[in-house]
Amino acid sequence: MKINLLILLTVLITSIKAEIIIVTNKNSDINSLSHEAVKYLYLSKVNKIDNVIIMPLLSEDDSLHKKFVKEILNKNIEQYSSYWARLVFTGRAAIPRKLSKKEIKQKLMEKNTITYMDKKDMNKNWKIIYEE
């Protein structure tokens, strides 16, 4: 009985775990990004890769956002918030606005926008440009 319960819990936990990917419009000039490039874009250290201006989008889904910050940016949410507070205070950047799934879908119609999402939410209008 204990073994069956353990197996069931393992399967449930595995299926709940989101697999974060970075996507863009399928017609985008961006074909792939390195982990470092994704971090630099989302931390506002750069806004261009290979002379292509890229607009990173943030999700208002808190659990997805926290997972992205932890796994891709290698920060906890407090470090991330503190980082942005410093950028705003010094005038180097404005706080990016978090968007709903609907807003993200609309923005991804634009050519060189990128966003993070759970791989299960992928659709045919986008292409994956980064996944671990």
Q: Is the pLDDT of residue 3 over 60?
A: yes
Q: Which residue has the tokens 């980064």?
A: 130
Helix (H, G, I), strand (E, B) or coil at 20: strand
Question: Quick check: 87 pLDDT over 80?
Answer: yes
- In this prediction, residue 15 has a pLDDT band, given cuts at 50, 70 and 90, of very low
Cβ atoms of residues 45 and 83 within 8 Å? no
Give whichever of 16-20, 58-62, 95-99 has the largest mean pLDDT. 58-62
Q: Which amino acid is at 1?
A: M
3-state secondary structure 76-106: CHHHHHHHHHHHHHCCCCCCCCEECHHHHHH
Return d(Cα 120, Cα 76) in angstroms, integer: 24
Identify the architecture of domain 19-131 in CATH: 3-Layer(aba) Sandwich (3.40)
Task: Give the pLDDT of residue 83.
Answer: 96
Residue 40, token pair as written in the block: 């630099």
pLDDT in tens, 21-77: 999 999 999 999 999 999 999 999 999 999 999 999 999 999 999 999 999 999 999
Global pTM value: 0.84
Using the predicted structure, report yes or no on whether residue 13 has a pLDDT greater than 80: no
**Stretch 93-113: mean pLDDT, rounded?**
93
What percentage of the chain reaches a pLDDT higher than 70?
87
Which of 3-17, 79-93, 110-124 has the lowest average pLDDT? 3-17
Sign of dihedral through CA atoms 90, 91, 93, 98? positive
Domain ranges of the chain: 19-131
Residue 51, φ and ψ in degrees, nearest 5: 60, 20
The pLDDT score that the predictor gives to residue 54 is 96
Mean pLDDT of the chain: 90
